[in-house]
Amino acid sequence: MSATASAKEQFDRQAAHYNGQWASWTDETLQRMIVLADPQPTWRVLDVATGTGFTALGFAPRVAHVTGADLSPGMLAQATKRAEEQGIANIDWVETPAESLPFMDGAFDLVTVRIAPHHFSDVGTFLSETRRVLKSEGVFMLGDTTVPDDDPVAADWQNAVERERDPSHVANLSPETWRVLSERAGFTVTDLEGLSGAIRIALTPWLETAGATGERAERVRSLFAQAPKSARHHFEIATDAEGETHFSWQRVVLRAVVR
Ligand SMILES: C[S@@+](CC[C@H](N)C(=O)[O-])C[C@H]1O[C@@H](n2cnc3c(N)ncnc32)[C@H](O)[C@@H]1O
Q: Is there a domain that residue 102 lies in?
A: yes
Q: Is there a domain that residue 139 lies in?
A: yes
Protein residues whose CB sits closer than 6 Å to any atom of ligand 1: 4, 7, 11, 26, 49-51, 54-55, 70-72, 75, 97-99, 114-116, 119-120
Calpha distance 43→34 (Å, rounded): 13
Q: What is the pLDDT at residue 227?
A: 98
Nearest to 143 by CA among 256, 17, 4, 60: 256
If DSSP states are collapsed to H, E and C, what string results for 196-238?
Answer: CCCCEEEHHHHHHHCCCCHHHHHHHHHHHHCCCHHHHHHCCCE
Q: Is there a domain that residue 131 lies in?
A: yes
Q: What share of the chain is helix, strand, coil (3-state, %, to 5)?
A: 45, 25, 30
The separation between the first and the last C-alpha atoms of the chain, rounded to the nearest angstrom, is 36
- Across 38-176, the runs of DSSP E, i.e. the strands, are 44-48, 65-70, 91-95, 108-114, 134-145
How far, in Å, from the CA of 241 to the mean position of ligand 1? 34
Q: Is there a domain that residue 37 lies in?
A: yes
Q: pLDDT averaged over consecutive 10-residue blocks of the chain (259 residues)?
A: 80 76 91 98 98 97 98 96 97 98 98 98 97 97 97 97 96 98 98 91 93 95 97 96 96 98
Residue nearest to atom 2 of ligand 1 (CA): 51
- Strands 65-70 and 91-95 come out as parallel
Q: Is there a domain that residue 8 lies in?
A: yes
Residue nearest to atom 14 of ligand 1 (CA): 49
How many structural domains compose the chain? 1
How far, in Å, from the CA of 242 to the mean position of ligand 1? 33
Q: Is there a domain that residue 225 lies in?
A: no
Could you list the residue range(s) of the whole structural domain that residue 182 is in?
3-148+168-199+249-258
Q: What is the dihedral of CA 121, 123, 129, 132, to 10 degrees?
A: -170
- Residue 190 belongs to what H/E stretch? strand 187-195
Q: Which of helix, strand or coil describes residue 247? A: strand
Q: Is there a domain that residue 230 lies in?
A: no
Q: What is the pLDDT at residue 9?
A: 84
User: With contact defined as beta carbons under 8 Å apart, do 117 and 29 qualify?
Assistant: no
The CATH number assigned to the domain holding 111 equals 3.40.50.150
Q: What is the pTM of this model?
A: 0.95
Q: Is there a domain that residue 153 lies in?
A: no
How far, in Å, from the CA of 243 to the mean position of ligand 1? 31
